[in-house]
Amino acid sequence: MEKHHRFSLWYVLIAIWGVLLLNNFIVTTYGPKNLPYSEFLQKLQAGDVEEVSITGDVIAGTMKDKADGEAKTTEFVTRRVDQDLSTELSKYNVHFRAQPESTFLRDILSWVIPILLFFGIWYFLMQRLNPGQGVMAFGKNKARVYAEKDLETRFSDVAGCDEAKAELVEIIDYLKTPERFQRLGGQMPKGVLLIGPPGTGKTLLARAVAGEAGVPFFSISGSEFVEMFVGVGAARVRELFIQAKEKAPCIIFIDELDAIGKSRAGNVIGGHDEREQTLNQLLVEMDGFDPRVGVIIMAATNRPETLDPALLRAGRFDRQVLVDKPDVAGREAILRVHAAKVVLSKDADLAVIARKTPGFSGADLANAINEAALLAARKDKDAVEMADLEEAVDRIMGGLEKKNRVINPKEKRIVAYHESGHAVVASFTQGADAVHKISIVPRGIGALGWTQQLPTEDRYLMTQTELLGKIDVLLGGRGAERLIFGDISTGAHNDLQRASDIARAMVAEYGMGRTLGPATYPRQNRPVFLGTEQGGLAGREYSEATAAKLDLEVKEILEASQERVGALLGQKRELLENIAKALLDKETLDEAAFTALLDAAKAPSAPPAA
């Protein structure tokens, strides 16, 4: 890949300065002698001037010059001062002539130089434009081509997705030794689709495949095919495949495939003709090229449910590789890859950070390492310590701390009991995650406090008991407010929303209720890998009577949870008040401090003194 150097005006100025110096040197060394007019008159009176040529006020000619005892002729140039020169020249019998001043060159340069300058600037700008940016280059594809020597990414740079890497090893072997597979009549899959949540390393994995195989890599985003002019995207697809065939074996990588590969069903009215033509051309190209050429098409998306079925059939993207969020071992491996670029102290335990970051993607973990390095640098530390890593994780999960926000004592007391209620219910509810940290320092946009719970291990299934436990924990803050103050606040708004979503999902989606029984009515068009914040059902397929029963059962689940939470907090009121007082005093309780309060509450009280 060619390296483009940044243009600088200093280059032009240095070049002009060099030309001027060279011109001055040539004129001074090899040009005519610049003679003062007074000296010219002296030479004239002495009879040393042989011939002159007069152009305006400039006098150029030859004269006798006696240097080193030898007589020779020297060219000179001077500028006259008086107008009676002709009389003097005639007096001394000097041959002279008058030469009219020519303005032809000046007239030519007056319009030639601006035109040349204009075309020079235009050519320079056209050369610096990327393919597809010129006015006449709409049909050119915008793929960035990386040569083999420019691809430094290897599988060692990708961690946390060992299964996906194992699936792609066969692609690398085929690109390196295609005859090994062709001798048995086997054909390599034409397309490999990487699917998974955002930030899990799909693009990085594709670059690593190209780097391991040592082949050119064409990288383009799906949105770069589509323009406002119909037919441009299809032309770019054709040109991309033509270039790829010329550089085969190679890899074409299309990021965000859903930008051009959305399903055509239901788009009869108001459909985007340009997107559909681009998709049709892509389907034709994938069917048309010879698999023996050695062009592998890789694509990535986090919305596979929106892709057109024609893209996913056998013979096109016939191999789908899931790049999911890493487990605890994968998270530790990813942390070590990114931590190799920063200076870590000896107390930094990445295994602990991996256990504290369930649900983090590779991008989140890279951000955590970077945030920790920035925090350590801000405090002028020599290395990134464990406290910096934990603070960085807390910042990503809960938002930025706002210690300068002024909260009146009454509201601060409400927040302390609210968070203590969450913690107490989580500690004595079956299936609830363990409490890791409690804080009443405001974070993020609207969070006045935060109770951080971390699972002891990665889990992929939730039982009915665990879901009910989550609802109990969410309602614990509201229950503590009601118990201590006899009133409730708006601080439980988000807790109620999340609890309602869980209860509705239990009844309508998971078959855990009485109303629908084993039947399920999931939310329609729900993204597979993208989170959704919408509550309720987007498009229900049941009657109003069933909807009323569903709402009633959701209400019953929430009310039963509220009763359980109220009874539990009434039994643990002393512990609740102790945790709230500690929060008001220290503002933040870590896992060790919270566990000490729990142990003190569980210890039998000492018998009274005799």
Q: Do 302 and 529 contact (CB within 8 A), yes or no?
A: yes
The answer to whether residue 419 is catalytic is yes
Tokens of 377: 């640098």
Q: Do 15 and 60 contact (CB within 8 A), yes or no?
A: no
The half-sphere exposure of 467 on its side-chain side, counting CA atoms within 13 A, is 20
Secondary structure of residue 590 in the 3-state scheme = strand
Q: Which helix (H) or strand (E) holds 221?
A: strand 217-221
Tokens of 567: 């009874």
CA angle 367, 251, 127 (to 5 degrees): 85
Q: Do 258 and 527 contact (CB within 8 A), yes or no?
A: no
- Catalytic residue chosen out of the listed positions 167, 276, 371, 419: 419
- Cα 340 from Cα 326, distance rounded (Å): 19
Q: Tell me the C-alpha to C-alpha distance, in Å, between residue 290 and each of 190, 280, 316, 352.
A: 9, 18, 12, 50
Residue identified by tokens 């096109």 is: 316
Positive or negative CA dihedral for 269, 273, 277, 278? negative
Positive or negative CA dihedral for 415, 416, 418, 422? positive
Nearest to 464 by CA among 494, 505, 435, 501: 505
Which residues belong to the active site? 419
